[in-house]
Structure 1
Amino acid sequence: MTHPVDVHVGKRIRHRRWLVGMTQQQLAERVGIKFQQIQKYETGANRVSASRLWDIADALDVAVSFFFEGLDSESAGKESTNDIPADLMGDKEALDLIRSYYAIPENQRRRLFELARVLSDVA
């Protein structure tokens, strides 16, 4: 049986890889393993060793701690503040929105952010 922490770390690997637009094959090549191993990590079927997680974090340009973010609230089954789902990174629509947001030029992105804040205050 898979451990909830391994599943969480695997999800975070998959979502970060997807967010930066990297395939399993590309990540595997950067880390020096087969893409099937990345698949097993992402599903939580295989546990990621500390040194391998270090290499994956480096390849995905994040701190190792990134893979553990949100673990407490998710494992407790709690929703985070403002009715945001505990597994926000598991929501493909949210990830699409984030990717699209960062594709917008910075000056327009700031204006869009302010608009979103105003709209959320009204709702």
Structure 2
Amino acid sequence: MAHAVDVHVGKRIRQRRWLVGMTQQKLAECVGIKFQQIQKYETGANRVSASRLWDIADALEVDVAFFFEGLKSGAPESREADTVPVDMMGDKEAMDLVRSYYAIPENQRRRLFELARVLSDVA
């Protein structure tokens, strides 16, 4: 059975890869492995070594610490956390939405954000 930290790190790899629009094949080429290994990392089936995680972070242009963000630390969760699905960042549709959102010019993006905030307040 996969360790919870390995699963979390794998989800964060997948999340960042989706966010930057990179395929498993392209990421694998960047770090010098086969795409099947990336699949195993993303599911938590295989543990990522420290040096490989360093290479993946470099390819995805994030700090290594990014992959550990969000691990439970025992701190009380905020009320807002109850309204957001636990694995929202592992949801491909949510990641596509985030990627599309950031592709919108900043002034239009701000207006869209305000519209979404108003709609969520009324719901």
Quote the residue 2:53 is aligned against: 53
Quote the offset at 1:80 in angstroms. Answer: 5.7
Quote the residue 2:101 is aligned against: 101
- Is the 8 Å Cα contact of residues 80 and 86 (structure 1) preserved in structure 2? no
- 3-state SS of 1:58 partner: helix
Quote the offset at 1:79 in angstroms. Answer: 7.2
Encode CA deviations 1:9-43: one digit per residue, 9 max, x unaligned: 11111121112111111101111112121111111
Encode CA deviations 1:65-113: one digit per residue, 9 max, x unaligned: 111122217xx8x976321122211222211211111111111001111
Distance 1:42 1:80 in 2: 27
Q: Are 2:27 and 1:22 equivalent residues in the alignment? A: no
Q: Which residues of structure 2 form unaligned runs of 5+?
A: none
**Aligned residues: CA RMSD:** 1.9
For 1:93, the aligned partner's letter is E
Identity of aligned residues (%): 84
Quote the residue 1:69 is aligned against: 69
Q: Are 2:79 and 1:81 equivalent residues in the alignment? A: yes
Point out which structure has higher relative CO (alpha carbons under 8 A, 6+ apart): 2
Quote the residue 1:38 is aligned against: 38
- Give the TM-score of the pair, scaled to structure 2: 0.86
Q: Which residues of structure 1 form unaligned runs of 5+?
A: none
The structure-2 alpha-carbon separation of the partners of 1:19 and 1:2, relative to structure 1 and needing over 3 Å to count, comes to same
Quote the residue 1:5 is aligned against: 5
The structure-2 alpha-carbon separation of the partners of 1:35 and 1:93, relative to structure 1 and needing over 3 Å to count, comes to closer
- Give the TM-score of the pair, scaled to structure 1: 0.86
Distance 2:51 2:58 in 1: 11
Distance 2:58 2:78 in 1: 28
Question: Greater shift after overlay, 78-87 or 42-51?
Answer: 78-87
